[in-house]
Amino acid sequence: RGSGKARANFYHHNTLAHMHPSTPAYTNGQVMATSSPSPSGGRGSGKARIAGSAIAGVSELMMFHPVDTVAKRLMMNESVLIVPSNLGVTTANLNIAIFKEAADFTVLGKWKSLFPGIGWGAGYKILQRVYKFGGQPYVKEAIDKRYGDTFRSLFGVKTGKTMMAATAGSIMGVGEIVLLPLDALKIKAQTNPAALQGRGVFQIFREEGFGLYRGAGWTALRNAPGSFSLFGGAALSKQFMGVSDGQATWTQDALASICGATASITVAAPLDVIKTRIQSGTSQKGGASLISNLLREEGPGAFFRGLWPKLLVVGPKLVFSFTIAQQMISKFEHHFK
């Protein structure tokens, strides 16, 4: 009888365990459209990160390449565009600075003129997003495995996790200079297209050589704090929202992305102006000379040229890139399991 009672208790205990709301079998039916839980290892996880990030890159390129072109052209312009006392002159100045040779074209013609360098842009943007969004989780996992206890002891459990995400993002940002040639050619096509006319891909790489890595140091200096702020800001936002890893909805991912991107773009803006002018090929001056001349001739405000066009599209841009990457990675991870 004692043995029968023990068996009954055993079966009763296990039945309750399977029915308990905290078990995965129950919660999986309740959690919908959440961001990637970023599991470590696994071939399926790697495929998911690549596929999800690539989709994010393509989406971002098609939606925001024109805005990026406008921002780059405003950053490259060294003349005074805004004349407070004359709206007509201001409008004419902006029209020429933004649309260049297409300034007198129709609206459709002007829109088409904002897509120079789309080929280089496609190669750069897709590879960049796969590298950054797909690679950052691996670096974060490596940091957690090796230095996780140190981060947690210094910053606490929650903030330590945020700092590891930010540090991983910063490391990825510095390593991004590997893709610099594609970025440099995209910027040249957007701001100085005459420099690329009549030359094929192999001819450009052969003639330009290591010149395509011009400004690599400034790019690394710009990417380190920028990527730190992007991933750190997004992680910190989720921490404030009380969202655990893998439990963010589309809306929560979008809000976190907006916060991270706003911090990233603002922090990196001054170095982004220097980087763009170096890479455009219109000036042979070094970074220090550019900074000196910019301060003397254009004033401190020139460091933030092109900032507002970028900030104005931070929300939708990150909805179509960072958020899509997180959500697509999550969906692909379930598919590849």
Task: Give the residue extent of every domain in the chain.
Answer: 41-336
Tens-place pLDDT, residues 218-274: 889 989 999 999 999 999 999 999 887 667 788 888 888 889 988 998 898 888 888
If one looks up domain 41-336 in CATH, what number appears?
A: 1.50.40.10
pTM of the predicted model as reported, rounded to 2 decimal places: 0.69
Tens-place pLDDT, residues 260-303: 988 998 898 888 888 778 766 666 667 788 888 888 888 888 88
Q: Which two tokens stand for residue 109?
A: 């013609």
Instruction: Give the residue among 103, 108, 106 at the shortest CA–CA distance from 92.
Output: 103
The whole-angstrom separation of Cα 230 and Cα 218 is 18
Q: Which two tokens stand for residue 54?
A: 């690539």
pLDDT tens digit at each of 337 positions of the chain: 555 554 555 444 454 444 444 444 433 333 334 454 544 555 668 899 999 999 999 888 878 888 888 988 888 888 888 899 999 999 999 999 999 989 999 999 998 888 877 777 788 889 999 999 999 999 999 999 999 999 999 999 999 999 999 999 999 999 999 998 888 888 888 777 777 777 877 888 888 888 888 878 888 998 999 999 999 999 999 999 988 766 778 888 888 888 998 899 889 888 888 877 876 666 666 778 888 888 888 888 888 887 887 788 655 776 678 889 988 887 888 788 7
pLDDT attached to residue 147: 97
User: Are the C-beta atoms of 138 and 164 separated by less than 8 Å?
Assistant: no
The whole-angstrom separation of Cα 295 and Cα 223 is 22
Sign of the alpha-carbon torsion through 207, 193, 62, 253: positive
Q: Which two tokens stand for residue 251?
A: 């809306």
pLDDT attached to residue 43: 61
Q: Which two tokens stand for residue 147?
A: 């230095």
pLDDT attached to residue 31: 38
Contacts by 4-13 with C-beta closer than 8 Å and gap 24+?
none
Local structure of 337: helix, strand or coil: coil
